Structure 1
Amino acid sequence: MSRIKFFGFLFFMAVSGSVMAQQKELPWDELAEQYECPEWFRDAKFGIWFHWGPQAVPEQGGGWYARHMYMQDVGRQKFGKMAYPYHLQTYGHPSEFGFKDVINEWKAENFDAQALIDFSKENGAKYIVALANHHDHFDLFDSSHHPWNSVDVGPKKDIIGEFESATRKAGLKFGVTSHDDRFLNWWKPAFGSDKDGDKAGVPYDGRLTKEDGKGKWWEGLDPKDLYGPAPEDRTPEMIEDIKKNWLERHIELVTNYKPDLLYNDGFNFTYGEYGKEVARELYNNSLEENGTIDAVMLLKRKEKGTVNEVESGGSNTLREDPWQSEITFTDWFYKKDRHLTHNARTILEMLIEAVSKNGNLLLSMELNPDGTIPHEIEKSVKIVGDWLKINGEAIYGTRPWKVFGDGKSVRGEQVETVEGELRNAVAAQKKGEHFNQRTTATPAFAHDEVRYTTKGDDFYIIVMNPKGGEFVIPSFAKSSEVSPGTLKGLTQLYNGRKIEFKQTNEGLAITMPAVNGDSYPVVLKAKFKN
């Protein structure tokens, strides 16, 4: 090599290294500016979420058990009203047996990540998400910055690590969720005491110190690291240290486990710039590994560079940008004193609603404390999986049409509620999107309710609550501004059966075959004249 070529080579290497370094160190604003939701996420449509942790151990008491077990009166948070009495009866008084001790009870003895992932994949999930920490401030991964983690306490297992490994083996995308931003206020009841009764005024275990653990199972651990400092002791410097610790833990999370998706349970980035720094690390890691940003950052509000998440609800409109709906069966942690909010019918309805409006559905499949799936939840997910095996063509890899659907609820006509009253569905949904989900208590769709999806030249009409006989779709009227054109053929997707129809200036009249009893949604595949 000549001297000139040699120095040219050195210069090339230096410039290349500099470019790579700059690429890895792109600031958040630049990453957000170039961000486009990755195609894998848009195609996946259906994910399963293991929102699971030590709060699954108590059989009753709602999804905020760790907080409500310290509250004799939960106020408006009625879903947690059983936590305190259940805790007294099952474990004893919270001054003597607190949530730190509930964590120790969690052994996850039958946890088999590969079996759970394989079950999820078999039943239609295209991506897997796992809870990294909840508001209880307990990490479910091998955290070197937080002693209260699942490797050192409780199950003595790297829950996130096992989920991540099993998901990669199954060839699926993997995500994690963090809910830790509110723990300081959330844990305030742990520093209180009973207002009345035999233990009135006796401090709960949030006020224990590291020295109090001598000779106990938690010797060497400091309750303050779990519950935070007592409210009266919190200084601005202490709060800042907590934020920095959050940053260290979550940088470690996205670096060691390389998730394809991260969800912060909040409307803003956790702790502001600290949360942006974690998102920046997530995207830069993806950019370095894939040459493009192939990861997804989810927030509950619409923020440039992120994907919007709707909790226990769905979008009221067809959105231009991809988004995600999230739902769960009970209170996010499986509780036997709570009825199931969802069954196979409502899960399919929420999935189809989301897909028709350019979104995904993430289903929290709650687990027993030992890591197994409750029977009634397993049954519903299997039905969803069976439906997707037959009708997945109309879901996976699809894109929305000009309008998301038609029917009484879309047109804003009066719909009968479960109490027999009439309401305007469109007007009701304008109240908000979070927590507007369809549930087992929601009235069935009218028989003319349909949703649309497309894939290339293929067009799908999904009849949400089919009934034998004729109904009319106004959107397909020959005179309609959004009509897809002249229909030449309509078949039932699962058996290829031809469906009778008549397209006029008033709409598309479809004659559905007789349906015996209640039916899950039926997909019709439409063909149009060129």
Structure 2
Amino acid sequence: MKRTIYLLACIFCLLQASAQNNDLSWEELQKQYQFPQWYTDARFGIWATIGPQSVPLLGGGWYARHMFMQDVGSQQFGKNAYEYHRKTFGPQSQKGYTEVIHQWKAERLDTDELVRYFKSIGARYIVVHANHHDHFDNFASTYHPWNSVNMGPHKDIVGLFEKSTRKYKLPFGVSSHDDRFLGWWLPAFGADTSGVYKGIPYEGRMTKDDGKGKWWDGYDPAQLYGLPPEKRTPEYEAEVKKNYMLRQQELVTKYNVDLLWVDGYGFPYGNYGKEVFRTLFNNSLKRNGKIDAVGIAKVDKEPMLVKDIEAGVAEEILPYPWDGIFTFTHWFYKEDNPLMHNARSIIELTSDIISKNGNMLLNVELKGDGTIAPDHKEILDDVGKWININNKAIYASKPWVIYGDNLNSCKREIERNIVNADKDNVMKEAQKENFNARTANSAPYGHDEVRFTTHGKNLYIFVLNPATGSIDLPSLGLTSQEHPGKIRSVKMLGSHEKIHFRQDNERLTFDIPDKRPTPYAVVFEVQGAIQ
């Protein structure tokens, strides 16, 4: 125990020593930090996810874990992984996750074309997946040999996206999900409980010597999976945390990251993760003369960090920036299930999020070859058309005094839609907003439910499920408690159609034409309501 305490003390001394090299402390950074305008104005970003787990077509977003589980228990989104792996790659005791890594080539990845396309559909910043719970780095990592430059596609995925994002003059971000790998990988140390290969250990128990003659000859599986559970000591786990910190610090400095998003609840590995964010902010300060970077995490009461809500939305207008993250089905591309979201649900969610002072970060599940699946691209095309039509109401928008009117027009789901996550952990750790979002299968909104944003003196009304006819909004009546001004005009964005309206003490009434610029939510610009 004394040795453990001494080792931990040494590590934190090193952290403190690194803080002496002219970097500002967390508290010093806080005194001058303001959320960058590029982020608060953006409102819509694209997150591109790709990795070895993009190769298997079935098995859910945690494929690397579930491929070693004959019984996935409550994590049913991974129920297809074990059998798919056995049939596609071979028995887990002979062909483990290393084979999946080896078969990942990203042979059609064109980051220039992808970033150009993402910008064309309205993205104001780009985020790329840097590492997942599988403990595999998508960049040229000095501190971790299991990375995409050394193996798999032999490409610096993060570096390619960073170069392309700079080319198209967009802020560049990365996501990191690595701090839970020790527990997440535990099934890799098991064995089949039945069948021909019963009792034969999985790949997690292989050693460096087992790689002789194989493609991964010279690499140590223990650096990918971690040591077998019975060999882990406090000293070893402290080294894992230090390695995590060094890898992520290299990530944010080598690629001059503008945004770092981390998974889990709280700082990854506590102070080690906090130190990574400190490096992010100090690096930005040195590069830009001011802190122009964004950190995103599920961390409360940290005024320098954007609040992350996973697959969910805030229930009210928040006074600080936050983001909602969404994906079509799984975080990695899979063909297990029907799409959870379509253009309609993404557009409705975006309208809801920005009305409450948030940003939509939409995940694009790239296929293993680096391309976008055709059915996903159809959705993205439609979302992009809608954003480009209504960009005046989106970019640099601010909330109004309330986020919407005629609320709760459809039945709310009682159960949270928890997918691609450990339900027990979510219910224990996550705040109620996480996984609370509507999906493509949710009951439609009523025809009169709306969301609001503002830009300067203009008020924007998002009619979520428009229908031809008139609509009444009590919040815009002259004597309502929101105190709107006398409205001078109502215009539909993307159209020259004349809009008839009438405002009295009780309500604003205006017509929704039959001919509209989009089949989805329609947006009206109102002048005079904001005085």
What is the TM-score with the length of structure 2 in the denominator? 0.91
The residue aligned with 2:421 is: none
Contact 2:495 2:516 in 1 (8 A): no
Contact 1:33 1:305 in 2 (8 A): no
The residue aligned with 2:378 is: 379
1:262 maps onto 2:266 in alignment: no
Identity level (%): 50
Per the alignment, do residues 366 and 210 of structure 1 end up closer, same or farther by CA in structure 2, a change over 3 Å counting?
Answer: same
**Counterpart secondary structure, 1:266:** strand
The residue aligned with 1:305 is: 304
**Counterpart secondary structure, 1:408:** coil
The residue aligned with 2:3 is: none
Per the alignment, do residues 417 and 313 of structure 1 end up closer, same or farther by CA in structure 2, a change over 3 Å counting?
Answer: closer
Distance (Å, rounded) in 1 between the aligned partners of 2:262 and 2:61: 17
1:228 maps onto 2:205 in alignment: no
Distance (Å, rounded) in 1 between the aligned partners of 2:187 and 2:382: 41
Contact 2:458 2:528 in 1 (8 A): no
Distance (Å, rounded) in 1 between the aligned partners of 2:377 and 2:183: 35
Runs of 4+ with deviation above 6 angstroms? none
Q: CA deviation at 1:479?
A: 1.2
The residue aligned with 1:503 is: 503
The residue aligned with 2:48 is: 50
- Kindly provide the amino acid, as one letter, of the partner of residue 267 in structure 1: Y
Consecutive unaligned residues of structure 1, counting only runs of 5 or more, are 1-20, 419-429
Q: CA deviation at 1:459?
A: 1.5
Distance (Å, rounded) in 2 between the aligned partners of 1:127 and 1:269: 23
- Kindly provide the amino acid, as one letter, of the partner of residue 456 in structure 1: G
**Counterpart secondary structure, 2:109:** coil
**Cα-Cα RMSD:** 2.0
1:405 maps onto 2:420 in alignment: no
State how many pairs are aligned. Answer: 497
The residue aligned with 2:485 is: 485
Distance (Å, rounded) in 2 between the aligned partners of 1:307 and 1:72: 38
The residue aligned with 2:184 is: 186
- Kindly provide the amino acid, as one letter, of the partner of residue 187 in structure 1: W
Distance (Å, rounded) in 1 between the aligned partners of 2:515 and 2:223: 59
Which of these residues, 117, 125, 129, is aligned with residue 127 of structure 1? Answer: 125
The residue aligned with 2:436 is: 436
**Counterpart secondary structure, 2:470:** strand
Post-superposition Cα deviations, 1:194-224, rounded to whole Å, max 9, x if no partner, equal: 1111111110010000011111111000000
Per the alignment, do residues 288 and 498 of structure 1 end up closer, same or farther by CA in structure 2, a change over 3 Å counting?
Answer: same
The residue aligned with 1:242 is: 240
The residue aligned with 2:417 is: none
The residue aligned with 1:118 is: 116
**Counterpart secondary structure, 1:487:** coil
Per the alignment, do residues 134 and 219 of structure 1 end up closer, same or farther by CA in structure 2, a change over 3 Å counting?
Answer: same
Q: CA deviation at 1:34?
A: 3.0
Q: CA deviation at 1:478?
A: 1.2
Per the alignment, do residues 89 and 50 of structure 1 end up closer, same or farther by CA in structure 2, a change over 3 Å counting?
Answer: same
- Kindly provide the amino acid, as one letter, of the partner of residue 344 in structure 1: A
The residue aligned with 2:7 is: none
Distance (Å, rounded) in 1 between the aligned partners of 2:183 and 2:346: 33
Contact 2:453 2:460 in 1 (8 A): yes
Q: CA deviation at 1:150?
A: 0.2
The residue aligned with 1:415 is: 411
Distance (Å, rounded) in 2 between the aligned partners of 1:401 and 1:95: 58
Contact 2:516 2:522 in 1 (8 A): no
The residue aligned with 2:526 is: 526
Distance (Å, rounded) in 2 between the aligned partners of 1:237 and 1:220: 25
The residue aligned with 2:134 is: 136
Distance (Å, rounded) in 2 between the aligned partners of 1:186 and 1:500: 58
**Counterpart secondary structure, 2:316:** coil
Q: CA deviation at 1:439?
A: 1.0
The residue aligned with 1:214 is: 212
Q: CA deviation at 1:186?
A: 0.2
**Counterpart secondary structure, 2:282:** helix
1:454 maps onto 2:454 in alignment: yes
The residue aligned with 2:61 is: 63
**Counterpart secondary structure, 1:252:** helix
Post-superposition Cα deviations, 1:327-369, rounded to whole Å, max 9, x if no partner, equal: 0011101111221111111111111111110010000011110
Distance (Å, rounded) in 2 between the aligned partners of 1:408 and 1:143: 49
The residue aligned with 1:198 is: 196
- Kindly provide the amino acid, as one letter, of the partner of residue 395 in structure 1: I
Q: How does 1:136-175 map to 2 (within 5 A)?
A: 136-175=134-173
Q: CA deviation at 1:514?
A: 2.4
Distance (Å, rounded) in 2 between the aligned partners of 1:301 and 1:144: 28
- Kindly provide the amino acid, as one letter, of the partner of residue 391 in structure 2: G
**Counterpart secondary structure, 1:160:** helix
The residue aligned with 1:295 is: 293
Q: CA deviation at 1:417?
A: 7.3
Post-superposition Cα deviations, 1:20-41, rounded to whole Å, max 9, x if no partner, equal: x989411112213432211100
Contact 1:97 1:205 in 2 (8 A): yes
Per the alignment, do residues 70 and 272 of structure 1 end up closer, same or farther by CA in structure 2, a change over 3 Å counting?
Answer: same
Distance (Å, rounded) in 2 between the aligned partners of 1:63 and 1:509: 46
Contact 2:106 2:153 in 1 (8 A): yes
What is the TM-score with the length of structure 1 in the denominator? 0.91
- Kindly provide the amino acid, as one letter, of the partner of residue 519 in structure 1: P
**Mean alpha-carbon deviation: is it higher for 371-380 or for 468-477?**
468-477
Distance (Å, rounded) in 1 between the aligned partners of 2:181 and 2:274: 19
- Kindly provide the amino acid, as one letter, of the partner of residue 57 in structure 1: V
Q: CA deviation at 1:518?
A: 9.1
**Counterpart secondary structure, 2:447:** coil
The residue aligned with 1:421 is: none
- Kindly provide the amino acid, as one letter, of the partner of residue 290 in structure 2: T
The residue aligned with 1:334 is: 333
- Kindly provide the amino acid, as one letter, of the partner of residue 24 in structure 2: L
Distance (Å, rounded) in 2 between the aligned partners of 1:278 and 1:518: 43
Post-superposition Cα deviations, 1:507-529, rounded to whole Å, max 9, x if no partner, equal: 11222112689930111111117
Distance (Å, rounded) in 2 between the aligned partners of 1:135 and 1:161: 20
The residue aligned with 2:102 is: 104
Q: CA deviation at 1:431?
A: 8.3
Consecutive unaligned residues of structure 2, counting only runs of 5 or more, are 1-18, 415-429
Contact 1:72 1:84 in 2 (8 A): yes
Contact 2:477 2:484 in 1 (8 A): no
Per the alignment, do residues 252 and 516 of structure 1 end up closer, same or farther by CA in structure 2, a change over 3 Å counting?
Answer: closer
Which of these residues, 270, 278, 283, is aligned with residue 276 of structure 2? Answer: 278
Q: Which structure has the greater CA radius of gyration?
A: 1
**Counterpart secondary structure, 1:247:** helix
